[in-house]
Chain A
Amino acid sequence: RKEVEQDPGPFNVPEGATVAFNCTYSNSASQSFFWYRQDCRKEPKLLMSVYSSGNEDGRFTAQLNRASQYISLLIRDSKLSDSATYLCAVNYGQAGTALIFGKGTTLSVSS
């Protein structure tokens, strides 16, 4: 069975903290990896695509470890506005047909 697993949290951190989430996947043939952010009662929005070994965008860094089959998301200098649920998604099927989503990790940043 194809699975994507995430620690549900919640992760409660103060502003300015660095926090990291992991996501493990079971399909070794997966080629595409993504992190989405979902605010309460809203649709998921693409945060980052994860290419080759990793990707960085400002305070956010995503890394891929193919040998151990996990991707990680690092958030530096956390802001109150980073509070959300973070979903990882991994492709499966021919030509990246569909994505499997993890259940998400909830982050709460407090002042």
Chain B
Amino acid sequence: DGGITQSPKYLFRKEGQNVTLSCEQNLNHDAMYWYRQDPGQGLRLIYYSQIVNDFQKGDIAEGYSVSREKKESFPLTVTSAQKNPTAFYLCASRDFGNQPQHFGDGTRLSIL
């Protein structure tokens, strides 16, 4: 089946620890995105990438890092510099042009 796969579904982070969230898509989409959603809030853009080996900061990039070594993969690392990481993290991808974004089923990150 074509789609966007995020893993793990739930993740717990200890103080001072970096954690990496996985996002893989087999839709052959060019662009990929990471969003954060806090309870009762909208989606806020963390990072996005339009092509391999290139990515741009979104509105809340501090404390996060990404890589785009392959078209189908866009992992997000939540670093220890992110002091309030508890949130629902959503990965999305989009075909070229003005096509809509489609989302993976998300990763819930909490602090231990």
Contacts and interface: CB of A to CB of B under 8 A. Distances in A.
Contact of B50 (A42, A45, A91, A97): A97
Interface in A45-99: 45-46, 49, 87, 89, 91, 95-99
Contact of B98 (A44, A91, A102): A91
A91 to B, nearest CB: 7
Given A44-B43, A87-B42, A87-B43, A99 B105 contact: no
A46 B102 contact: yes
B48 interface: yes
Contacts of A91: 98
Interface string B39-61: 01111010010100000101000
A31 B48 CA distance: 19
B90 A102 contact: no
Contacts of A44: 43, 90, 103
Interface in B75-112: 88, 90, 97-98, 100-106
Given A87-B42, A103-B41, A43 B106 contact: yes
B42 A101 contact: yes
Contact of A95 (B97, B101, B103, B104): B97
A101 B44 CA distance: 8
A101 B103 contact: no
Contacts of A101: 35, 42-43
A49 B100 contact: yes
B105 A97 contact: no
B74 interface: no
Interface of A: 4, 31-32, 34, 41-46, 49, 87, 89, 91, 95-104
